Structure 1
Amino acid sequence: MEYHLAIDIGASSGRHILGYIEDGQIKIEEVYRFENGISKVEGEYCWDLKGLFEDIKKGIHKCKELGKLPKSIGIDTWAVDFVLLDEEDKILGNTVAYRDDRTEGMMEKVFEVIPQDMLYLYTGIQFQRFNTIYQLMAIKDKKPEILYKAKTFLMVPDYLNYLLTGVKANEYTNATSTQLINSFDRNWDEKILDEIGIDKSIFQEIKLPKTILGNLREELVKEFGFDMEVILPATHDTGSAFIASVCNDNDSVYLSSGTWSLMGVENHFPICVPQSMNYNFTNEGGIDYRFRFLKNIMGLWIIQEVRRKYDNKYSFAELVIKAREAEYFTSIIDVNHDRFLNPENMIEEIKTYCRETNQKVPETVGEVAFCVFNSLSSSYKDSIGELEEIFEKEYKRINVFGGGCQNELLNELLAKVTKKEVLAGPVEATAIGNIVAQLLSYKKVADLEEARKLIKKSFEIKTYMP
């Protein structure tokens, strides 16, 4: 049996999942799970990359203990965050997280040198205050000495791959989230970098998903007792998740549902017109130079924070049960408002928003939970309406995948408000997409179309009718 290891790291946790083909189906097995999160360091919200890499190694050791040695390994994470390395390949400053407020006002500073419409025309990327371009501008504005010393730019999964292999490369799908990649040339946009005053020499060669980056460093081979090939999946977790969609047609909208909700369609070309800019859609790079034309929606982060503020007293399943008891509640929040990005108290922020917008304020646990789920479904409906307006067509179905597709209430609300069929699954879309990229690299699967047929045959898909 040949195993392939997907390491899928999200904002709150990471998993090591082994994948293999058996009896004409993809089988997966979780072998290790670990916590992740941000903490304040020197006044900034930061990631602990040293701790993450230790957990990566622990999970690999677990594979060895089980006697299931992977032939290859792929890492995916969230987007936009990065490290800058000095001439000795040491991290400069903190690994600041996208939820930090250092980018306040930086979007406007960028627009002073590059007009907003031109930036969108070049990159096709949605305007979000935490995009890499604004983080770099924040460093230039507040800590210019870091940029002066910087010799290498690596995004978070790029850096973890560098620790594994010693090879420096910027993977394409994650690089597109920086708002620094020209969507037509599919490479670093030197004009943008020149305009904002960032040294282009720090950026690495762009490598595509399915690329074999290299083998493990010699010292890691000795530590683990075996070697693996490090293969680039779509290192942006959403890019990996979209690979695992069970729909392979032009009539479906995709919804990757997790901490973030990413809703859109697949294209073979970017759409950088004023209408898509005004609706704030993004053209993120995907496998085989596909474009994920989608909108980032705040997602289940809001209910995760609500649960935390209830001291984790309720499981997510219990919050859904309580929400069902409050389906009479009609107040809606704008889930994409910056105020919900990282508030001190999510419950109070929801109540304050409702108060300020002259809506009924949720009081019970069920009312708060239903307000979140109902608001998410409302946002999804609006985004689909914008997609249909841009493409001048009506979509027939929605494929929801990722951990959020287990929320049956949200799936029911989505089918109800959109009046469309909803296909829910696969749950482990990101890890599956990661593994599929490895299988494609080894030509164990011919192409993406065949992969999606295989995924549909291998994993449970639930259907919800309007």
Structure 2
Amino acid sequence: MEKYFAAVDMGASSGRLILGENENGIIKLEEIHRFENGLKDIKGHLCWDTKYLFGEILTGLKKCKAIGKIPSTIGVDTWGVDFVLLDENDNLIGQAVGYRDSRNEGMDKEVYKIISEVDLYARTGIQKAIYNTIYQLMAVKTQNPNQLGNAKALLMMPDYMHFLLTGKKTSEYTIATTSQLINPNTKSWDYELIDMLGYPKEIFQEIKVPGTSLGNLRKEVSEEIGFDCEVILPGSHDTASAVLAVPSNEKNTLYISSGTWSLMGVEAMKPDCSKESHALNFTNEGGYNYRFRYLKNIMGLWMIQSLKKELDDKYSFAELCEMAEESSCVSIVDCNDERFLAPKSMMDAVVTFCKESNQPEPKEPSDFARVIYHSLAVCYKKTLAEIEFVQNVKYQKLFIVGGGSNAKYLNELTAKETRLTVSVGPTEATAIGNIIVQMLAKNEFSSLEEARRAVAESFDVKIYG
């Protein structure tokens, strides 16, 4: 009898429910449900529609029932840093404001009045990004103090989805580390730091590791979808799940989890909170079994997604790649410049950067696509040099996983710029990693190493360079 494991993988632009099964060491996937996602303007703030998102999870589960493929377990992963606040009746306080919202502007300065940026990094090992939970909470404290005062619980986005499924409040380790409020040595909330910042300590839930069972679905949920199943915490941060699906057990494995964001780094067994690491703005996010994802957040395919939308979705991503190859525009932008985080016009932001840096301005859609793809590849090259410097390791191979691995032109540029052998795939790395944790919890694999060997055998990869 087939045994199915359901991964709900929510990205910033889309989500999906994928079923996985283990057939004699071969992982097989089936996409059951796909849905759109995106930030909505609600009363002047960019917010997530949590009611809609949870409804899409239920829709996916109902589809499983309809085709007779009932998952034995389910786990949810999402992007990092965003959260909800709940009151004493477990109702939402305010909206689920997204990380691209302008409320975070200037909140770094407010935090640094209490603790310096250098000391904060030494304490948490998390790179500075103005959208980190630590700064978002300062925005709530500064702009809506009553919300924080009335809060009884803080749940990161996947933790909230798990709560809606089970009624149990927890903080999964990998997603919690994106908050910049976790001590990398104790692997728990830094309550001293939280107290210093004036955030209520009681709203932070107990940390649970990937593979933890939350028990079965709430009665109301199981009755609505027509069956019951167990909820198991995956690596709830999507990058934590994606890294698990990198098909390599080598000690020094360099990867890019490529999607809306490009997360480029290595897996480490201990954090690096050194001044050198801070100066290069690397982060030490939590991974499976207390590994660390030592990486850098790069703006990623958000830029090309924004361009596609600005062009009224006239071109597919594949067409934009092909068009970019035909362009002769040689300009390069800094993908990590904050102007590209949430511009009203990505094209205008690119043109402005080129003007300010005395480079030719892109004019045609093909020019903009080439500038973005080439700039990403150059950024990967720069990040490679930084990783090799701080890790004191020379890399020969780069693994690219995730939806962005379909960008053939970007893969070619990456191989050319980095001069590495680039191994590309699997595409659905995040869902695979999510499913792997569930399978490990149910003894489908004896170890992560065995699971990664199964990934290598189950999915085709392409080699560039």
Structure 2: how far apart are the matches of 1:365 and 1:221?
A: 48
Matched, 1:309 2:318: no
Shift of 1:443: 1.0
Deviations 1:300-335 (A, max 9, x none): 000000011111000001001100101x32110011
User: 1:464 maps to which residue?
Assistant: 464
1:351-393 Cα deviation digits (max 9, x unpaired): 1110111000011111110100000000011011000010122
Of 108-117 and 277-286, deviating more is 108-117
Total equivalences in the alignment: 464
The structural deviation recorded for 1:74 is 0.6
TM-score, normalised by the number of residues in structure 2: 0.99
1:191 aligns with 2:192: yes
Match of 1:413, as an amino acid?
L
Unmatched 5+ residue regions in structure 2? none
- Given residue 98 of structure 2, which amino acid in structure 1 is its aligned partner? A
8 Å Cα contact 1:266-1:293 kept in structure 2 = yes
Work out the CA distance in 2 between the residues paired with 1:137 and 1:402.
Answer: 32
Deviation at 1:223, TM superposition (A): 1.6
1:320-339 maps to which residues of 2 (within 5 A)?
320-326=321-327, 328-339=328-339
What is the one-letter code of the residue matched to 1:50?
K
1:162 counterpart letter in structure 2: F
Which letter does structure 2 place at the counterpart of 1:14? G
1:248 aligns with 2:249: yes
Using the TM superposition, give the Cα deviation of residue 250 of structure 1 relative to its aligned residue in structure 2, in angstroms: 2.8
Residue 376 of structure 2 is aligned to residue 376 of structure 1: yes
Give SS of 1:266's match: strand
Corresponding residue number in structure 2 for 1:433: 433
Q: One-letter code of the match for 1:86?
A: D
Alignment partners' CA distance in 1, 2:249 and 2:201: 37
The 2-side partners of 1:334 and 1:361 are apart by 15
SS in 2 for 1:93: coil
Structure-2 residue corresponding to 1:392: 392
Q: CA RMSD in A?
A: 0.7
The aligned residue for residue 36 of structure 1 is: 37
Kindly report which structure 2 residues correspond to 1:248-327, keeping only aligned pairs within 5 A, or say none. Answer: 248-326=249-327
**Alignment partners' CA distance in 2, 1:145 and 1:411:** 48
Matched with 2:70 is 69
Q: Does 1:108 align with 2:109?
A: yes
Runs of 4+ displaced beyond 6 Å? none
Pairing 1:208-223 to 2, within 5 Å after superposition: 208-223=209-224
3-state SS, counterpart of residue 249 of structure 1: coil
State the alpha-carbon separation in 2 of the partners of residues 41 and 249 from structure 1.
47
Amino acid across the alignment from 2:100: R
CA contact (8 A) 1:251 1:397 kept: no
Return the offset for 1:24: 2.7
Cα distance in 2 between the residues matched to 1:24 and 1:79:
31
Q: C-alpha separation between the residues in 2 aligned to 1:142 and 1:11? A: 25
CA–CA separation in structure 1 for the residues paired with 2:342 and 2:348: 12
For residues 79-114 of structure 1, give each alpha carbon's deviation from its aligned partner in whole angstroms, at most 9, with x where no partner exists: 000001011111101110000010111011101101
Answer whether contact 1:251 1:396 (CA < 8 A) is retained. Answer: no
In structure 2, distance between residues paired with 1:374 and 1:348: 18
Which AA in structure 2 matches 1:55?
E
CA distance in 1, matches of 2:225, 2:142: 43
Whether the 8 Å CA contact 2:133–2:179 is kept in 1: the answer is yes
Summarize the Cα distance change of 1:250–1:24 in structure 2 as closer, same or farther, 3 Å threshold: closer
SS of 1:46's equivalent in the other structure is strand
1:343 corresponds in structure 2 to 343
SS of the residue 1:4 aligns to: strand
Which AA in structure 1 matches 2:431? A
8 A contact 2:252–2:266 mirrored in 1: no
Question: Which one-letter code corresponds to 2:294 in the other structure?
Answer: F
- Name the residue aligned to 1:152: 153
CA distance in 2, matches of 1:50, 1:221: 17
**Residue 198 of structure 1 aligns to which amino acid in structure 2?**
Y
Q: TM-score, normalised by structure 1?
A: 0.99
Quote the Cα distance in structure 2 between the aligned partners of 1:232 and 1:158. Answer: 9
Q: Distance in 2 between matches of 1:163 and 1:250?
A: 38
SS in structure 2 opposite 1:17?
strand
Q: Give yes or no for contact 1:351–1:361 (8 Å, CA) kept in 2.
A: yes
5+ residue gaps, structure 1: none
Deviation at 1:247, TM superposition (A): 1.8
Given that 1:252 and 1:396 are in contact with CA atoms closer than 8 Å, whether structure 2 keeps it comes out as no
User: 1:200 & 1:306 partners in 2: Cα distance?
Assistant: 41
